[in-house]
Structures are given as structure tokens and as C-alpha cells.
Amino acid sequence: MTAQLVLASSSPRRRELLLRIASSFTAFAPEIDETPRPWENPFRLSMRLAREKALAAAGRFPGAFVIGSDTSAALDGKTLGKPHGLEDFMDFFPKLSGRVHTVVTAVALVSPGGEITERICSVDVEMAAFTADDALRYWRTGEPADKAAGYAVQGIGARFIRKIDGSPTALVGLPLPETAELLAGAGFFDA
């Protein structure tokens, strides 16, 4: 019997990525509070949220391998969340123009026995120069609304990116080499 794999996410991007290394899994998005805590930098925030997602889904799917992942971004040491409307987006997205920011993606795996293993990746992203009008036109596409740092590298947002230094799959939301390593270490591919 094949071991059950659960992806604790509603992200279509994460589902597409996981299909590259696992042919079958269940996607389930647990409800967790994603509010950053005052002391959390993007690394701590992403790691905590990935772990909480995995643990919440593991409670619903006992005996399964459960993956949780979370992505956040930072500019000048400050976390950039997902924009909560146009005003929020226009407050931070234009500041990325012509600059480098860091995107952090954490992945946590809860194995059938309840063990938790984790990995974290950071990617430096250099943005091309763009105007506030460019940002506003991008907002109107609808793409930035639910994205860390307000853009999607795999979508229209790619036009704003000049250079990526790090894992492209981590930038999209699920670092595949690290995820495969966690699954292999927990015995998923042998199950």
C-alpha cells in the first residue's frame, strides 16, 4: 500500500510543484492564524507557519506524510506580507523597483510517526526599475492580491524581475530539492 501524502496548502503553484516529485497526494488547507508576531523575522515567520500548517493537517490525516510550506519576503529587514488591498500594495511594491529583496520559503514535514523535519531556503531577487504607474497596472491584473511581496514570478510579475539568486522553486513557494530530501529522509519514497 502506498503511503498517503498530504500537502497542507491551497496554493495551485505548490500543487503543481509537488506533482514534479510525487505523483499522488491530497491537498488540504488548514485554517491557521498567519499574523506575524512582533519579534519574527521572515525566516522565523515562514518556519513557524510551515510547521503550524503541517501539524494542523497532520491532525486531520493521521498516519500520513504531511508537508507544510510558507513563503515570506523582506526588504531592508522588514517583512513584506501579502497585500491587503490597493493601498497596502502601493505602499510597499513600488519600493522594490530597481532593488534586491529576499524571499524566504520554509518547508516542514510531519512523518506518519509524528516526527517533524524542516528546511528553509532564501532567494535574493533583483527587481527591474519600474514606475508607480507600472505597479498600479500590475495590481489591476488581480495577480498580486494573494502573493508574498505582491508578485508572482511564474506569472505577469516575471516582467519586473531582473535576476534571481537561489532556488526558483523556493521563489514560487515549494523548494523541491529540500522537499524531496525531507521525504526521502522520512522514508516516503520507500513506503
Active site residues: 70
Based on its alpha-carbon atoms, the radius of gyration of the chain, rounded to whole angstroms, reads 17
Whether the CB-CB separation of 118 and 47 falls below 8 Å is answered with yes
C-alpha closest to that of 37 among 72, 69, 7, 68: 72
**Interatomic CA distance for residues 82 and 150, integer angstroms:** 6
In degrees, rounded to 5, the angle at the alpha carbon of residue 52 between the alpha carbons of residues 40 and 102 is 40
Q: Is 57 left (phi over 0), alpha (psi -120 to 50) or beta?
A: alpha
* CA dist., res. 169 & res. 17, Å (int): 7
| Distance separating alpha carbons of residues 178 and 163, to the nearest angstrom | 22
Residue 140 grid cell: 489591476
